[in-house]
Chains A and B, each alone.
Chain A
């Protein structure tokens, strides 16, 4: 077993402080940009104080990953022996150059950068997570989508031997998700290979997962094996399970309630019983960047 010296690992509190500095710096630059877009100020990106990183232990122990069970602690308990090597991802469909890339090829071809994003779960909680990843559009450009490529369909691995949850018909396995091509090409949409400066833990969707920060968390597929460009809107596993509760777009929207609960506010994970709920913002605070994708659309109808 390869050993890593303690000195090589950045302690979490130093890591968190360092991120804070970078975040402040980054947001200072961002606010110059914001001041030029006063129209969208209501949907401004998450504020500095909202971006306190969620602790690593919460990000890696409180997960929804039904392939390993429906409980929040099932993923960490039941995914530790999950094999992420060898791992191939097929990128095909309406493209000029379909490709099959191993996870090693992906990490060398597309260098990772850090993205601190807010993750808003449809259940009404949120985390601030420092992901390591790269824009999905980099990989999509490599395969050259044709003019028929209107949507992107993501398929996760099907392996009931290793994934105990897939032995039960909880969802239509394998897990399927989809994005419109412009959403997939957006710079905020990333493929993720790590978090907190480390390799992505199995319970968080290793070796390759999607993150679309302005949509509810379930849109961000884990353990992806196929990225297919398609002409027709794909049906996601959740749409199939409950079309009344989960729509194709699933943009974070405080004005559109889930049939069973309000989406107007959320709880920040790990903040204890003293801290109050925080208001949920349109597009999870990324409205400046993404609101234009939905101009003229009735987001109550296309939820």
Chain B
């Protein structure tokens, strides 16, 4: 049962990717296709960040442990969509022409923070296997708390690149803040009740 559920989540998570591939090949992306791909992969990265962060609160509210078994896969999809997003910008948009890219990273704060978020995802993706989990023991959990920082960075990245914070950038920001706030409560409880 759990196996089939996981497979379903995997297939569902791949759907945005299949949709964008379909749009690319059928030329359905409109007048600014690269901007379209960039925005699409960027937004799905944020959605998967929110989904990943929702699993442990869901476990708490529903008393079902099944949720946390999807967490690692969803986290890896964050890395997958974030990498597609970065590759679209670096490869498709700027053709690996490094000087203007580096210039952007240094001068534009939304690119700086977006790139930082991707760099922080790297160690999480590398240490996502069960082997690494056993190897790192308690440090694994500490390391993977980086996702909280990544979530904030991702949300700021969206706010700073937008003309105004209204409304989508603000909505993502609020959702992420709520998901993080839920954790503070969990922790406090842990302290109180051991």
Contacts and interface: CB of A to CB of B under 8 A. Distances in A.
Interface stretch (B41-49, B92-100, B128-136): B92-100
Given A257-B107, A261-B108, A273-B24, A58 B100 contact: no
Contacts of B29: 273
Contacts of B187: none
Interface stretch (A74-82, A155-163, A207-215, A264-272): A264-272
A160 to B, nearest CB: 20
A264 B100 contact: yes
A264 B93 CA distance: 13
Interface in B49-107: 92-95, 100, 103-104, 107
A125 B32 contact: yes
B35 to A, nearest CB: 7
Interface in A144-194: none
Interface residues of B, number: 22
Interface residues of A, number: 18
Contacts of B123: none
A126 to B, nearest CB: 11
A273 B33 contact: yes
A262 interface: yes
Interface string B1-38: 00000000000000000000000100101111111010
Contact of B100 (A72, A262, A272): A262
Contacts of B27: 272
Contact of B92 (A257, A264, A265, A273): A273
The main secondary structure of chain A at its interface with chain B is: loop
Interface in A250-303: 257, 260-262, 264-265, 267, 269-270, 272-273, 276-277
B108 A269 contact: no
Contact of A267 (B34, B103, B104, B110): B34
Contacts of B118: none
Given A265-B100, A272-B27, A276-B95, A62 B32 contact: yes
B37 A262 contact: no
A62 to B, nearest CB: 4
A61 B34 contact: no
A209 B74 CA distance: 50
B148 to A, nearest CB: 26
Contacts of A269: 31-32
Nearest to B92: A273
Given A260-B108, A264-B100, A269-B32, A277 B94 contact: yes
B31 A58 contact: yes
| Residue from B34, B35, B37, B160 whose CB has the most chain A CB atoms within 10 Å | B34
B33 A262 contact: no
Contacts of B34: 267, 273
B119 interface: no
B161 interface: yes
A260 B93 contact: no
B100 A62 contact: no
Contacts of B30: 62
Interface of A: 58, 61-62, 72, 125, 257, 260-262, 264-265, 267, 269-270, 272-273, 276-277
12 contacts: A125-B31, A125-B32, A260-B108, A260-B161, A261-B108, A262-B100, A262-B108, A273-B24, A273-B29, A273-B33, A273-B92, A277-B95
Interface of B: 24, 27, 29-35, 37, 92-95, 100, 103-104, 107-108, 110, 160-161
